[in-house]
Every structure is written in structure tokens, then in C-alpha cells.
A and B are shown apart, each in its own frame.
Chain A
Amino acid sequence: MAEKMMVVDDARVVRVSLGKIMQSLGFEVIACEDGQQAMQAILENPDVRLIMLDWHMPVMNGYDFLVRLREMPEHSSSPLVVMVTTEASMPSMMKALSAGADEYIMKPFDASLIKSKLDLLGVAYKE
């Protein structure tokens, strides 16, 4: 059965493009538009393996979502979280990793970059 993953981004174009890449790699994709939707989705799908998370979003941003997620005992280390963001500075990267992100992608991305990060995380995918 396909593993579940979440794409959380307020930009539809990113949800679609990243969602397509992840589907082509064999994942079942749950798309959310902000951190609050993502919080609801993780409660309904506690078996999600991986979250690709934007930083700047309305309602609840990605960083705040990450902090809250990691505060939940059952999610202190899973699912894996990859920030996918235009925040391309060293301090932002350090802040996200300190808050419990497992990897970090600075936009723009392509399929090979996504795959190289999945390799680093030891997440299997369909070639």
C-alpha cells in the first residue's frame, strides 16, 4: 500500500507540482493549504510518513505548525518533516532544524533534488 505524505503549501502551483512528483514516486498525497489544515490532517492521518512543509502561509505558518507538531508526544520524531521554502538563509535553516525539521529544501526544486533528499532520509520511493 502506498505510504501517505502531506504537501503543505498555500500556493496551488506548488501543491500541484510537488504533489505530482510525490505521486510519481509512489506516495499517496494529502494536500493542505496552511498549518491549521495540516494539523487537522495529521490528527486524521497519524500514519503519515513524511510532510513537505512551506514556511510562509496564512492562518498558521509552517514553522509554528512544526513546533506544535513536535510538541505532540506521538509526533516528536515522526513523521519526517522537510521544509520546502523560499527562506534561503542560514539562520532560517538552523531555526527549522532546531525546531525538529529533518531536512530543508530551498525553492525552486525539481524531481532529482526531491529524490536526493528522500535518499538522505532513507525514505524508499518508486523509481
Chain B
Amino acid sequence: MAAVDHNAPVEAAPSPHRAMLRRALAHGGVTIGAGLLLIIIVMAVIGPFLIAHGPYDQDLTARLVPPIWMEGGSWEHPFGTDQLGRDYLARLLYGARISLMIGFGTVFIAGTIGTVLGVAAGYFGGRVDMVVTFLISVRLSTPLVLVALAVVSIVGGSLQVVVLVLGLLLWDRFAVVMRASTMQLRAIEYVTAARAIGCSTPRILTREIMPNVMNNLIVVTTLEMAHAILLEAVLSFLGLGVKPPTPSWGLMIAEGREVLLFEPWLITIPGLALLTLVLSINLVGDGIRDVTSPEDR
């Protein structure tokens, strides 16, 4: 009801930022997701310094040691070791770094491309819009995994190559969402007012448009980050992602495949890690969408 906002006394209404923070903290999804994500990030950053084993240290005398909760496990290797006797916990923590780097790196590249294209198309319309819409259609009709596989198999897999390839492939959703939300704002009166004041176009785009499409940008960012992390896992699993012995979670799952029937934890541990990371990112994204949408009304 309109009654709720304009009748509220001035002092009672919190600022938009504070109101959003308050709503975010009250939102179960955001708090759980952000909490999990924070834990994963902290562990990825400081974890490897806290354990004795390096992710590449092989100990062929201690191959396939089961994790601590299984018979024969020891505190020496809480998550056990793999076929080459490498400490699984160390590899897992190091793999978190890889996944996060893939996630952040990809959305940085894809987000920049997609936002620039989308905002330009939405704000300028006309021919710019036609070109961008065409590019989006082209991108949407490209089979994602096949192109990624092909490129990586030609150029050769490495962390940098995977980030670059995914970044160049995953910008479409950014462009679509940014285009639509910019278009809505283009005709809104505060943007017209800024033009009538004589603001330059870059200023209008950065000060008037961007802050108001930020919510949508954040939501897409989280979705695409999760998407990128999963795609990297797929590529690595197929042997076309990051190169061994780099401990990518996807690669760890691939390596564990051979002994799936006898040592299933080799797959379940990185699998669960992947699930947790992607789930936490998605929870944050969905939550932010819930938290910010009523505010725009």
C-alpha cells in the first residue's frame, strides 16, 4: 500500500542502505549463504598455511589413507590421501582457491563485457541496441561447453586460459539483464532531470544509472559465479580444464573416478565442497534479489 511509505514519519524511515542491510540480516538465505561463503574464503586464504602438508607433496608410502572418520584414518591426514599420497585436506583447501579464482576472475571479465554492452544498448538504444542484441543472439546460439572444450583443447588448459575462455563466454546474462534494467531507467525522470541539468553522458551512466542497476548486477554476478565454478569443474573433470597436478575440485573428482567403488570419499569430499560453495553463492544471490526488490517499488 502506498500509505505505508509516504505516511511514515521522516525519522522512522531508515536510509536505503541501512534498510537493505537490516533486511539482509533478517533474511535467512543471505545470512546462511554469506556465512558459508565467508568460511570458505577464509579457509581458502589461510587454510594452506595451517597444515603441515603441501598440496603437491607426494608420499607414496601413505597412499589412499582413509579420512579420520573412517576406519584406519589418522589425524596426520584428516581427510586422507589420494592415490599419490598427497594430503587431501591440503588439496581441498588449495582447490577452493582455484574455484574462487575461477569464479571471481570469470565474472570480472564477463561482468565488464556484459555490463558495458548491456548498459550501452539500454541507454543509447537504436543502432547500438541492434548490434548488442545481435551479439547476444550470436552468443546464445553458441554451445557453451563445446566451444569451451574446443578452445581449451586447442590452446591448452591452464588457470588463465580457463578464466579467459569462461569470461569471454559467460557475459550474455549480464548484457541481457543490464540492458533491460537500463532501459527502464533511461526514461525515468531523474535521468531526464540529470540530462536537463547538463550532466555528461558518462556522469549519467556512472552516477544515475549504475547505482540503481547495481542490485541486479550483484544478483547476476552471483549466479554467473556459481555457473563458472561448475563449468570449470566440468572442464577439469573432462581433462580440459586446469592441468594436473593443480588441485582443482573438478580434477580431484576426475582422479577419484578410478577408485570410485572402493574409495568413494575421494569423490564425495570434493563433490560436497563444490556443492557447498555453489549453494552458498546462490543463496546469497537469491537473498539479495529478495532483499532489494521491494525497495525499488
The answer to whether A and B come from one shared complex is: no
Interface residues of B (CB under 8 A from A): none
Interface residues of A (CB under 8 A from B): none
